[in-house]
Amino acid sequence: MKIVVLVKHVPCTLRGMTFGADHTLERAGRPGQLNEADEYAVDQARRIARRRRDVQITAVTMGPPAAAAALRKALVLGADDGVHVLDDRLHGSPALATARVLAAVVDRLGFDLVLAGSASSDAAMSAVPAMVAELLGVPVLCFADILRVREHKVEIARDDGAGLQTYAAALPAVVSVTERCGEPLLPTLTASLDAHHKLVHTWSLDDLGRTASDGGATTTVVRAVPVPPAGRTSVLLADDPTVAAIRMADFLALHQFL
């Protein structure tokens, strides 16, 4: 069984960062890490591999050179090898462009199961796994709280608000998992040392036979914003106008401006 895990390199913290007018998250040179939700996906792949002897786990990411750190962490957590799509033309790629590139990588690798975290901590769109599945023409099961892989199908259980509901799909398939599927085990020293000897392949768009325009990639601008001075309160406004108005009114009333 070939399992491909989609992972992302994200900023270690969102504090002091913002979205610009073009909806791009400012990283401002901050250190990055493997997206926490993707750690659960790698761990689920590792658990499957413990129950079967024929499992090959490949972690896949796209991004700048620093994104290789996310792959290295995935290797420590249990992936057998990694693929890093590194190409300057992908800078600022929106979700659809990202999905198209990742789907091309998965298709080239061959797969039985694609795993991903439920969302990334920087964008939190939760859209890429479903997009990848659509592009690959395979079923998708999202937000799995419990994951079971059978010989020819995958089953998940998901809490939809009325208790756990079970869903199943034939393999090959794409599954996104939540943090409720099980806490990842801490890597051992041996696993950390072994990860240094695992291969990470670097591919470009040319290697995949694609161009930046295939995914509709757009150049984006990122801006840093200063952290508010100590003692000052920030008000987070939601996208919903009604919720935003209520929060602003509560803030003004609290400080006796109303």
What pLDDT tens digit does each residue of the chain (258 aa) get? 999 999 999 887 544 444 443 334 444 455 678 889 999 999 999 999 998 888 999 999 999 999 999 999 999 999 999 999 999 888 878 889 999 999 999 999 999 999 999 888 776 678 899 999 999 999 999 999 999 999 899 999 998 878 889 999 999 999 999 999 988 877 778 878 888 889 999 999 999 988 766 654 444 444 555 655 665 555 555 556 777 777 777 777 776 665
Question: Cα(33)–Cα(55) distance, rounded to whole angstroms?
Answer: 26
Burial class (CB in 10 A: 0-12, 13-18, 19+), 199: exposed
pLDDT value for 93: 82
Distance in Å from the first CA to the final CA of the chain: 63
Tell me: cis bond preceding 31? Omega within 30 of 0 counts: no
Helix (H) or strand (E) holding 156, with range, is strand 153-159
CA-to-CA dists, residue 170 to 108, 140, 150, 153, 181, angstroms: 20, 10, 9, 4, 20
Query: Domain 2-215 class?
Result: alpha beta
Question: Cα(92)–Cα(176) distance, rounded to whole angstroms?
Answer: 23
Domain ranges of the chain: 2-215, 230-258
